[in-house]
Chains A and B, each alone.
Chain A
C-alpha cells in the first residue's frame, strides 16, 4: 500500500504570502491519480486539484499543483483569509484502494 506523507504538519503564514505544501509517496504514483483537497473547519473536504496539476471547477488560479513520481506539491500564491484550512493529498492505488496523506494545516501567523 502506498503511504503518503505530507509536510510540514503546520504552516504558519500571513495573508498575501505564498504556501508550498509537500506530499511524498512511499513508491511511485501515477500523476494522473494524485489529487488535493481543502477542508475548512467543520466543513466537508473540497476538491482542489486532480491529475496532479488540473484545477477543479471553480478553483481560483492561485492554487496550482505540480510534481511526479514520488514528490508532489500544492502551491497557494497570495493567501486569502479563506485559504487557511487543512489540505490533504490523495492517490488512487488500483485494487482498488484510495489513500490520503495525514494533512497539512495552513494557519494564520
Chain B
C-alpha cells in the first residue's frame, strides 16, 4: 500500500526539541524528493522544508531556517529535527512526496500534531 505515516509529535515546552519521523511504504522512497508541510490549528498550509532523493539538496522556509533540519535514511524514513521550538510552531506536520518535474505534492501522510506550550 502506498502511504506515508508520520510520528513523533507531542507536547514540548518553548525552547525545546522534537524529532518527527515519516515512514514510507509502497513506492521507491529512495528515488523520491520529500517535504514537510505544516498547518497551524484552524489555519492554512505552510511549506516547511524539502530534501532531494540523495539528500544533496535541502531548503527551508525562512520561519524555520536555522532551527529545523530535514534528513532521510536510504531505505524508507524521512525526519525533521526541530530545535528552539516556539509557540508559533504549533501545528499538524505533514510529510509529503514531491513530484520533481512540476513540483507538486502528490502523496501526503495523515500528519502528527506538535504543540509548543509551557
Q: Are B102 and A103 in contact (CB under 8 A)?
A: no
Tell me the count of chain B residues lying within 8 A, CB to CB, of chain A: 20
Say which residue of B46, B50, B59, B104 sits within 8 Å of A35 (CB atoms). Answer: B104
Tell me the count of chain A residues lying within 8 A, CB to CB, of chain B: 24
Question: With the chains together, A92 CA to B109 CA distance in Å?
Answer: 20
Q: Are A100 and B108 in contact (CB under 8 A)?
A: no
Contact residues of A: prevailing secondary structure: mixed
- Given A50-B102, A50-B106, A90-B45, 18 more pairs with CB closer than 8 A: A32-B102, A33-B103, A35-B104, A35-B105, A44-B108, A44-B109, A44-B111, A47-B104, A50-B104, A56-B106, A88-B44, A90-B104, A96-B50, A96-B103, A97-B59, A100-B45, A103-B44, A103-B45
User: Which residues of A does B touch, CB under 8 Å?
Assistant: 32-33, 35, 37, 43-47, 50-51, 56, 88, 90, 92, 95-103
